Amino acid sequence: MKPLVVDKDRLQCEIDEFALITEAAPPVVTRVLFSEADLRGRNYVKERCTDAGLTLRTDAVGNMFARWHGTSRQLPAIATGSHIDAIPNAGKYDGVVGVLGAIEAIRTLQTAGFQPRRSIELIIFTSEEPTRFGIGCLGSRLLGGVLSLERAAALRDRYGKDLEFWRKQGGCPGPLDSVKLAKDSYAAFVELHIEQGPVLEAEKLDIGVVEKIAAPSTLRIQLTGVGGHAGATLMPGRRDALLAGAEITLAVEQAATTTGSPDTVGTTGILRIEPGAVNSVPYKAYLEIDLRDTSVKTRDAALHQIEAAIIEICTRRKIEFTMERLNVDPPAICDAKLVETVAGIASGLDFSVKKMISRAYHDSLFMAQVCPTTMIFIPCFKGYSHRPDEFSSPEQIEKGVRVLAETFAQLAK
Ligand SMILES: [Zn+2]
């Protein structure tokens, strides 16, 4: 095989072109699952895959698979992939680097005359972002068997349209129960992604190899107290929903800071009250809490502590409440051997490399249920992500693609 040369200019051209496929005015990127922009984006990727001689298939939830057939077709393939959907007001690198970058890695190998023994397969996951249905990683959850078919069928978007409607819209064939992957479907899964955090840039490093992926759990809480005139309702006997909510936010902080693990993080990202008038006692509060950790043990301990606090606070304050676990996902420990392999490849190329934790979650979290998994991170400007000024340089991307291509070469030969 000739030395691998990534065509970084061609890739950058494609990333720039792809960023113009958006529901918002460029440079803002918005591509919500099965929107017109998402469908155009899917076609763009399909064309590039076909040009590279890859065989395409789409599953029942719209995950797309593009396979470069190896000489030993019976062997489990090496898989890679990411997503092309983007939240409202996003940038052009999140997910896209792992999709267009993987196509470039495959073309790089083809140009060098590499012939894989194992097949190499690119997966473009459906709805990594939660915009449409309020749940992230829809495609990879179903691939990993982490989401029940009943829950998937019950998903609705804000207009009340269900997954069945959108599946038809997206032209996804077959029944949903055909999506789940068998355990031996792939020999390995490696996702290329921008870091979405500041570590690599701050430490002037080229490559991060992910050892653990923190898993989120999300709680939704509705509190109902008793409203009233802010002047006429005297303090004794008030049942103020906001005050209960405020105590709950502090209980979240308390739980997240006392697990003994530095990786536990708890956030009350949503707190809405009704009626929301300056002279009225809040009678309703609505909270959503995000709790993450790399260890399921400490994460679940904190989760139970928060739930117990909610019950205690609401009972003491005579507030009616409902609490719902929207998701409780398993954190992933990446395959140690695969992590060593990828880190070794990166240092062999003279790239500076660090093993690290992914604190954002990714489709890899659920692919880890199927096969040995890790991720390749590249630095991004100030760690910015999910905003239009998200940026990684062509050179930074080139290094990530190079490591991915070399990983394919090593694992598929
Ligand atoms: Zn992403």
Q: Give the pair of three-digit tokens for residue 395.
A: 């050179």
How high is the pLDDT of residue 89? 94
Calculate how far, in angstroms, residue 326's C-alpha sits from the geometric centre of ligand 1: 20
95 CA to centre of ligand 1 in angstroms: 4
Pull the structure tokens for residue 7. Answer: 């065509």
CA of 195 to the centre of ligand 1 (A): 9
CA of 128 to the centre of ligand 1 (A): 7
- State the distance from the centre of ligand 1 to the C-alpha of 242, rounded, in angstroms: 34
| Rounded distance from Cα 386 to ligand 1 centre (Å) | 9
Selection from 176, 19, 149 nearest residue 86 by Cα: 19
Give the torsion sign (CA, 387, 393, 398, 404).
negative
| Phi and psi at residue 387, to the nearest 5° | -155, 155
Q: 228 C-alpha vs ligand 1 centroid, how far in Å?
A: 45
The sign of the torsion formed by the CA atoms of 208, 296, 218, 82 equals: positive
Chunked mean pLDDT (size 10), the chain, 413 residues: 94 98 96 96 98 98 98 97 96 98 98 98 96 92 94 92 94 93 94 96 98 91 97 95 98 97 93 96 96 92 97 98 91 95 98 95 94 98 95 98 98 96
For residue 158, the CA-to-ligand 1 centroid distance in Å is 22
Q: Which residues have C-beta within 8 Å of that of residue 6, sequence separation ≥ 6?
A: 104, 105, 108, 398, 401, 402, 405
How many CA atoms lie less than 13 Å away from 159 in the CB half-sphere? Answer: 6
How many angstroms is it from 309 CA to the middle of ligand 1? 33
Cα 315 from chain centroid (whole Å): 36
CA-to-CA distance for 368 and 172, rounded, in angstroms? 24
pLDDT computed for residue 134 by the predictor: 83
Report how far residue 111's alpha carbon sits from residue 53's, in angstroms, rounded to the nearest whole number: 12
- Cα(51) to ligand 1 centroid in Å equals 25
Kind of pairing between the strands at 280-281 and 120-125: unpaired
Tell me, what's the pLDDT at 255? Answer: 98
